[in-house]
Amino acid sequence: MRRLWALPMLMVLAGCDALNPALRYQEAAWQLRFTLDRVDARIDLAFPPERSHLRLLLDVGVDNPSDQRLRARRVTGDLRLQAQGGDFALGSVSFPEGADIAPQGRSSLKVEVALGYADLKTAWGPLSGAVLRHEPATWSLAGEARFEALGLEFGVPFHTQKESGR
């Protein structure tokens, strides 16, 4: 009879991590810090202008201060540009391979995006100013990293931005 109460007492002393191993994984994911480290933009001009494109190479850094290796199944976000007094939605960005995030370290996510003139018509002036004339601008990426731990899927939102220009 003495052993029957020992198991619940052991579970209480071990804490929630022993009862729910996914909790450690979730707590580690919420500690991640995302930074927009690099935005390389290039405008490919064509005639007629409708055939022009904007090519972006994004480098997003992810700092993981925990001792837990994390694997994001999917990372997506909305890219915006603030320039010439306006705020312009440029489109959605997806990192197709997700992310393998090393413990107690920094990982990097890279993606190249090509956007057409038709998608960017309202932002074309500020974009060309930021990219071709290096006018001051702020690039921002707001999104979510999706994780799965022991069959439980959850998301961690993030927002990061980078200044460019003079």
pLDDT of residue 48: 86
pLDDT of residue 57: 93
Pair 144, 77: CB distance under 8 Å:
yes
For the chain, 166 residues long, give each residue's pLDDT as a single digit of tens.
Answer: 444 444 444 344 445 455 567 788 999 999 999 999 999 988 888 888 888 888 999 999 999 999 999 999 999 999 999 999 999 999 899 987 778 899 999 999 999 888 888 778 888 889 889 988 999 999 999 999 999 888 888 999 999 999 998 7
pLDDT of residue 7: 41
Residue type, 15: G
Locate 1 and state its tokens.
């009879």
Place of tokens 């999706």: 146
CB-based contacts of 7, cutoff 8 Å, min separation 6: none
pLDDT of residue 19: 52
Residues, the chain:
166
Pair 130, 83: CB distance under 8 Å:
yes
pLDDT of residue 68: 93
With residue 98 as reference, give the H or E element that holds it: none
Residue type, 86: G
pLDDT of residue 151: 83
User: What pTM value is reported for the model?
Assistant: 0.81
Pair 87, 127: CB distance under 8 Å:
no
Tell me, which fold does domain 34-164 have in CATH? Immunoglobulin-like (2.60.40)
Q: What gap in Å lies between CA 17 and CA 5, rounded to an integer? A: 20
pLDDT of residue 96: 76
Residue 72, phi then psi, degrees to nearest 5: -80, 125
Residue 41, phi then psi, degrees to nearest 5: -115, 140
pLDDT of residue 51: 86
